[in-house]
Structure 1
């Protein structure tokens, strides 16, 4: 029987590649985005998050996998709303539906940016689940978009990776036989990074900051392949892992450290 999955951020980039890959395998995909999707919601808002869960429940009686991919990379508070609180709400909100599956799976998207400098106060607010405090802190950081604002994205990705690590082995996830994991992409050729890799000079400068010795900048399908394995039936025991698909950035930046 064909699996049914939810993919957020399905209209472009990694989300679109994931949706198309799943569909090419005969799976049913409920795409979620602001446009060009089955479910049109704004994951920066509590209403949008509730609407996501309610609409998915209206569209299907069973759910096999959730791919939480939707994200922003701009130095604004909305990035916190989508990348952390929206992603966590997607996974937690749809988790009860996953329990109807014989092989439920859940996976989200972190980033190698989680290894970069972050704002500890913002990360702590997200870890505490305090969205008003996190948005307020992000608003302060966003006043200087080129400096402190640049910390917002990496902070959201670190906080999400930590949430996966802390949640995956709990009764709600592992106890319900739901593998929960994340991927951490390097630089991927998506609309989000288009300006940063538009010229050879810009691409070279970016790769000096984000080294990707193995084949350089990747296409979205590279991440989609990993996501769909993590969300597939073969993945029975990977639990709480953040898998870097970054052309070697993690290995270069952290060396032989495993944490």
Structure 2
């Protein structure tokens, strides 16, 4: 691999599975030393809704590796239903993980990022932030907040040499999506429908998202900040004509 991350330390939240795991593996393959933060299954156990746990985990990473250069805020949870489909407790739970969790981890990492000549933050957003999807009101609200937060963070920290961007995947073939498919009345039909929603006709691979994250985090992307990078098979920008026989 190119090794553009040689000597750099990356923190990936929610990195034990799915997109986060693919990101951790990609950054490691490109030369980074990667610390995975997750609620289980990793050396740096961390619940992003617990400020004390977040600060402790970030300090432990910095103590182990001596620096933090890249932060990938990937930890997140899903939600289904219309605006009336979840009670207040569920709204607060999802927003706490998906939005405030980003703020907590970034806040804890800022002192270390400020010391890096190649500081970059990449947030995992979603196509749900920019396209109205049925039965995703709460999830869409949380990811819309992530998009706005990304831009605000980019503005706040540009002067400190910290780049902030986000990646906006379409429907990715992750364990969470797999569970949604399995719970559907007709799992095969549900998978076909989810695949067809993307113009290129299939689910997005986690590795494809990881490549986009690696670009945004790379020192080679030093003039890229405050953007959303779609990885959605054309869903956000293409309006294809229906295929007729």
1:31 equivalenced with 2:36 (yes/no): yes
Tell me the SS of whatever aligns to 1:249: coil
Question: How many pairs align?
Answer: 220
Distance 2:225 2:32 in 1: 23
Counterparts of 1:1-259 in structure 2 under 5 Å? 1-74=6-79, 76=90, 77-117=92-132, 150-170=136-156, 173-198=157-182, 199-207=187-195, 211-252=197-238
Is contact 1:5-1:63 (8 Å) kept?
yes
Q: CA deviation at 1:167?
A: 2.2
Is contact 1:196-1:203 (8 Å) kept?
no
Q: CA deviation at 1:22?
A: 1.6
Is contact 2:62-2:68 (8 Å) kept?
no
Distance 2:238 2:140 in 1: 18
Is contact 1:213-1:247 (8 Å) kept?
yes
Q: CA deviation at 1:229?
A: 1.1
Q: Which runs of 5+ in 2 are unaligned?
A: 1-5, 81-89, 240-245
- Of the structure 1 ranges 18-27 and 174-183, higher mean CA displacement relative to structure 2 is found in 18-27
Distance 2:97 2:53 in 1: 11
Distance 2:238 2:102 in 1: 28
Tell me the SS of whatever aligns to 1:224: helix
What's the C-alpha RMSD, in Å, of the aligned pairs? 2.0
Distance 1:178 1:166 in 2: 12
TM-score, structure 2 as length reference: 0.83
Distance 2:167 2:107 in 1: 18
Is contact 2:204-2:231 (8 Å) kept?
no
Q: CA deviation at 1:180?
A: 0.5
Distance 1:244 1:166 in 2: 19
Distance 1:21 1:206 in 2: 26
Q: CA deviation at 1:197?
A: 4.0
